[in-house]
Amino acid sequence: MSIRENLQNIKKQIGDRACLVAVSKTKPNEDILEAYETGQRVFGENKVQELVAKSESLPKDIEWHMIGHLQSNKVKYIAPFVSLIHGVDSGKLLKMINKEGAKINRKIPCLIQVHIAEEDTKFGFSEQELNDLLTEELLQSLTHVKIKGVMGMATYTDDEYQIRKEFGLLVKIFNALKKGVFSENSEFKEISMGMSGDFLLAIEEGSTMVRVGSSIFGARNYNK
Ligand SMILES: *Cc1c(COP(=O)(O)O)cnc(C)c1O
């Protein structure tokens, strides 16, 4: 099936229940343009260099999301144009995003990454770490960051029960933050969870944003 057909299929399944981030990492510009032609405007990349190169050579109305692990010293390269940073996984990174945003007078939209998977290979905060980090004092100091919600990745498994449980945990943590430190922040509303293998489960559990790559563009070849 073509990229166009894949996208149409997936959009039909999602409907207006969640925002679709088309994950185009490792894929060439022509693939992105094919998706663009069908009306897709939101794309996700996980490497800073690739994100910058693609944003420079592709249409300017594309919204670029940084979905991968981001090193603090690379924030400056994407600060001027990135539409959303999904994986904010340390206080250091959050402060650096604020600093780079201040330099260019831009409020940079972010999601806080929460560790929900059983594996300890995945990045993100625990609920306790979030409570310790997100003090009123810190939030007041973040004048150039827009915290729009949370992001999480479930364990890589076929066990649907396990995946639902982890997505449910992310929703629970989101709701607690929404009622707590972000109760005055009407922009705190996104839950980014769900990938090719589990985006429908994620939506059923309350996802507002799914990050889908291989189901749209086909399997990735990292040896290219
Ligand atoms: C690659 C990636 C995805 C998309 O994965 P697929 O299984 O190809 O849909 C989603 N989220 C993150 C953080 C990724 O790195």
Please give the Cα distance from 168 to 221 (Å, whole number). Answer: 32
Please give the Cα distance from 140 to 142 (Å, whole number). Answer: 6
Which is it for strands 42-45 and 190-192: parallel, antiparallel or unpaired? Answer: unpaired
216 CB under 6 A from ligand 1?
no
HSE, side-chain direction, 13 A CA sphere, residue 8: 8
Please give the Cα distance from 190 to 150 (Å, whole number). Answer: 6
- pLDDT at position 221: 79
- pLDDT at position 49: 98
- pLDDT at position 98: 98
- Atom of ligand 1 lying closest to residue 86 CA: 13
- pLDDT at position 65: 98
212 CB under 6 A from ligand 1?
yes
- pLDDT at position 1: 86
CA of 154 to the centre of ligand 1 (A): 11
CA of 23 to the centre of ligand 1 (A): 6
- pLDDT at position 220: 86
Single pTM value for the model: 0.96
- Atom of ligand 1 lying closest to residue 151 CA: 13
Q: Which residues of the chain have pLDDT under 50?
A: 224
Contacts of 49 (CB under 8 A, 6+ apart): 77
